[in-house]
A and B are shown apart, each in its own frame.
Chain A
Amino acid sequence: MARILSLVMGLTWALWSGAGLAAEPVKIGFMTAYSGPFADMGKLIDAGARAYLKANGDTVAGRKIELITRDTTGPAPEVGKRLAQELVVRDQVDFLVVGGFTPETLTAGSIATAAKKPLLIVNASSSNLTDKIPYGVRYAFSFRQITQPLGVWAAKAGYKKMMTLVSDYGPGIDCENAFKDGFTSNGGTITESVRTPLKSPEFGPFIQKVKDAKPDALFVWVPQGEQALGVVKTYFERGLDKAGIKLVILGDDIDEPVFNALGDKVKGLVTSLHYSTAHPTAENKKFLKAFAEVTGNAIQPNFMAVAAYDSMAAIFEAARRQNGNLSDSAKTLEILSSLKFESPRGKIVIDPKTRDITQAVYIRRVDNHGGKLENVEFETIPDVKP
């Protein structure tokens, strides 16, 4: 009887509080690049977040989730700052989610900190970013995190002399250093590091240089898109595979466009990343299904979409734990920065001290998987710090 009574009381309370708050949706200021050269990134991030709402409903603790989307147009810091300010001051959002690069994440971060609104970082990946954003929590990755294990793997796989080829800017240099670190501390030698101009559409000369130098293997990271496609294409066109120079590459460079353009040639390429569509878990299947429904199968999800998906999961959890009452932003931040849950990519843990993400990194090989090419994970390095 007492149990029934408490149940009824609990239910009434839930209904009452739910009804009281139902009028007020949880507002999420969702900033990413919807136009311009990075529009494809924005599309993935947007769809990733919507996939979560599709799979889990758009209501949490009695409150509806409202995404207020804003176009950052790409790495434009002052636009990021303005949008974040307007979202906070005018739209009174409860959370900011920034799916962009480091500059606009930092300027939005200064607003988030001044206004004490939690900011979820779902794409920016420079090292120690959360140090500069006291109200920021990272649900993405850092380049160091996903590159260093690949260097370790390459040394253990028996490569002795390697060259690196990266784009000549911050992230590229982060990757170069992290790879070198992992590789040389396990007995390998980097004979030469090549850096290519940021806007170079032509990789012929650089790849030729590598071919002439004949290392055991080549580590590559350049920005996704035509650059990644260009460098991999040139690698095969110049016959480096036939010359016995292996290619080891960061996983974000090897996805759908590369598979479509090069086909079976890329089979056997080894990459590292924190997410693969081939990740064999129920959570990932759920994500893939929802993502396909949201996009009508038009695009393939990737790690960016997963980070956006996870940011929604984190917001849901924060709302749930506080029964929908998000008025204490310090409390919300505390919850967001100590979460631990199963993501489509695997287990993720946020370190409360750094508010940065610790996650597994996978070494993968391109192979047939369910009738098409995918990055199939064959080695897991658990709990890699950012």
Chain B
Amino acid sequence: MIGNFLGVLFDGVAYGSLLFLIGIGLSVTMGLMNFVNLAHGAFAAFGGYVCVTAMNQMGVPFLASLPIAFVLTALVGVLLERTLYQRLYKATPLDQVLFSIGLTFMAVAGMTYVWGPIQQPVRLPEFLTGQVHAAGMDFGIYRLFLIAVVVVVTAALVYVVDRTRFGAQVRASVDNQQAAAGLGINVNRVFALTFALGSGLAGLGGGLGIDVLGLDPSFPIKFMVYFMLVVAVGGAGSIKGTLVAGLVLGIFDVAGKYYVPQIGAFVIYALMVVLLVFFPTGLYGKKT
């Protein structure tokens, strides 16, 4: 029984890690740049397609395909930011929603055109599949790997935002664009780089997620709810918040499905509603 519980906890943490990885990019663009980017899933799916194409058609190993997905998605992100997104920084959230949904529709059709409507096959390398047995329990290796990636990504992000000059510039630009520009910060450049970071993370999350979530052109719409969920509950822009939200939602979702499968589908949504009623700006959101 206790072994069951620990197993469920581990699975919950692993699932939460995945939620974190697919949501963190959105948290960056939405929280730091105040842009409601519903097209986040399209960037994630693009990252996934980059991984699959690199692996299946060019023989790149899985681990090497992840940084490629990050970089290429970031590049596409910058390109779109310079040409389209930046014109809408001052627009109302509603306009941003509409714009990014439009972009999502185009991406879905575009991906259908390029990669076809079918599920993309992903085969993980042998050393990432299966389970290891330790302390009387079985741990999925890929799940351990996801948790490890979360630790690395979180550490890197916290370091970049809190400790580097770039991070300081980002925070300054977000708090007060005019003052930041007055201090000689190239706000445009900072925003472009932040957007690149956010989209790159989306691409990375997509690449890591395909083994569990699958990948077909409707990915951006199918999982939109999940990206939004993590970011809203965590509080946009908070790395810690996204992490905590991902873990809480992951653990409760998995535990709900294991112990009370009859209502398993409701758990994650009900939890979200309850959390948002008590924390309207998210667990770690800015109080406005």
Contact = CB atoms under 8 A, between A and B. Distances in A.
A205 B257 contact: yes
B254 A202 contact: yes
Contacts of A261: 121-123
A229 B118 CA distance: 12
| Range, interface on chain B | 35 or more
Contacts of B255: 205
Contacts of A197: 257, 264-265
Contact of B216 (A195, A225, A263): A225
B121 A257 contact: yes
A238 B138 contact: yes
Contacts of A40: 116-119, 216
Interface stretch (A4-12, A23-31, A206-214, A268-276): A206-214
Contact of B119 (A194, A200, A206, A226): A226
Nearest to B119: A257
A198 B4 CA distance: 24
Interface in B94-120: 109, 112, 116-120
A201 B213 contact: yes
A232 B148 CA distance: 25
B214 interface: yes
Interface string B253-269: 11101100110110000
B36 to A, nearest CB: 23
A313 interface: no
Contacts of B258: 205-206, 208-209
A36 B218 contact: yes
Contacts of B215: 226
Residue among B142, B217, B223 facing the most chain A CB atoms (10 A cut-off): B217
Interface string B8-30: 10010011000000000000000
A229 B257 CA distance: 19
A261 B218 CA distance: 19
B119 A196 contact: no
Interface string A216-244: 00000000011101100100111100000
Given A194-B261, A196-B261, A202-B253, A229 B138 contact: no
Closest 6 CB pairs of A and B: A226-B214, A260-B121, A197-B265, A40-B117, A205-B258, A37-B218
7 contacts: A39-B117, A40-B118, A197-B265, A204-B14, A209-B261, A226-B215, A229-B214
Interface of A: 35-37, 39-40, 42-43, 168, 194-202, 204-206, 208-209, 212, 225-227, 229-230, 233, 236-239, 256-257, 260-263, 298-299
